[in-house]
Structure 1
């Protein structure tokens, strides 16, 4: 059975991540676990008052189970409510390995928390499953129907496409930006026929274009997504080191900082 985890933080029904996750779960007839992590910092565990506050927060979160079950009932899906206390990223990454997709809020990209250091993308980098990110101000109207695939033959982009297959099979429009760069025979990996492979997986690509932009790749991807009115962009994340992208800039960093549509990322 297809399984989703939704990172429920904050616990608000109008949170786009919750709405998007439940819409995808309904489309896929999936089981969906709502997970709330009570973040615990090791340096404060010896402070009695701090521990008492964390215990009270955990107990309060556990009492929200009926609220979550009602959301699942209204969405027409099966689900569970799970509360964990611990270090946020290791907890979420470990729990997500028992699911097919993790749904989170997209990082806000504010000055206090640079893009790439938020919980969602750190969880992805820590070895969790592919992540579906919903912008905090996105108007969710259902599961994604118009999808843009950004593929360049890398392991990250290929894993993202594989993770997106269940959504792609239900989409009404799929465009592919093919950024594969051929090399001289014997001096690089073999050419991969991504279009043929997608067709065998039951995905019809309505438009396929080579992707060799002379401009910044992140700018180009978001421009293409806007042009086709995409409601999901699928791409690999952190093709080079995350530190390198944060310092020098890069495609993932730009897309996370500026995207106004959901993203499905794999690392």
Structure 2
């Protein structure tokens, strides 16, 4: 896992996101690329509104926001000892790429050329556009998204928990996490008894798969005890001191999650550890 994409906004949440990205890059010797995440309208739309909003004003605002995002990103990397030029394969490096279109869709499209995308996890106050940017990464990039908690951990992927629910989405998340699972000192496969899940292979079969891949793995079963599946998963990860949770995203479709709730939505909005997610 050698390439990490970080969409940048000049917000307070970026500190934890960048700290998480640097931890991940230090773990794997990866290249981190920053791109500006800007939710302005496309230029052809602005051109149609030129009488009330000039193209010059639009471009000046975009250039100002892009410059601020770049300064935030590059200053952070330099302060944390990340090199602007790759020197050895085992040390992280960074770069900036500004030639991306505005809008949340760039996360999914540009993210297809990276091993993983790192973003801030949402909460109840997160703007809908940023949530759609996360979904773009999950549904359109073809790869995983790491969601950083409000406070970054001191280390990452040393003690990993997998929430096994039998689903295709979870199997994909597991497969994409293999490079980190092999690096981890401890891996636990969690089953929530009575929790949300779909028909599929048992947790024992998943542990067998991981062992054949050279990964020592432990089993853990928990009951709901009046909690939701998401609450039970996060409690188990906290109890075990995990620093990464591997979770398939949206096994139930997004509409059902919005109406009835779901483990993905709860975990995304309440996790205090990094999430490795894939759809």
State if a TM-score over 0.5 links the two structures: yes
Does 1:225 pair with 2:233? no
What is the TM-score of this pair, normalised by structure 2?
0.79
Q: Residue 26 and residue 13 in structure 1: after superposition, are their counterparts in 2 closer, same or farther (change >3 A)? A: farther
- Report what 1:150 is aligned to: 163
What is the TM-score of this pair, normalised by structure 1?
0.83
Aligned positions of 1:1-267 closer than 5 A: 2-10=2-10, 15-42=15-42, 43-44=45-46, 46=49, 47-48=53-54, 49-59=57-67, 61=69, 67=75, 70=78, 71=80, 72-73=82-83, 76-110=91-125, 113=127, 117-136=131-150, 138-178=151-191, 193-205=205-217, 207-210=218-221, 213=224, 215-267=227-279
Q: Tell me how far 1:127 sits from its aligned partner.
A: 4.0
1:145-203 Cα distance to aligned partner (Å, 9 max, x none): 1111011221100111112111111212211014699xxxxxx7666821121112221
User: Number of matched residues?
Assistant: 258
On the 8 A contact 2:83/2:93 being kept in 1, the answer is yes
User: Superposition RMSD on alpha carbons, in Å?
Assistant: 3.1
Gap runs ≥5 in structure 2? 85-89
Gap runs ≥5 in structure 1? 182-187
Q: Tell me how far 1:68 sits from its aligned partner.
A: 6.0
On the 8 A contact 1:147/1:230 being kept in 2, the answer is yes
Distance 2:253 2:130 in 1: 11
On the 8 A contact 2:147/2:275 being kept in 1, the answer is yes
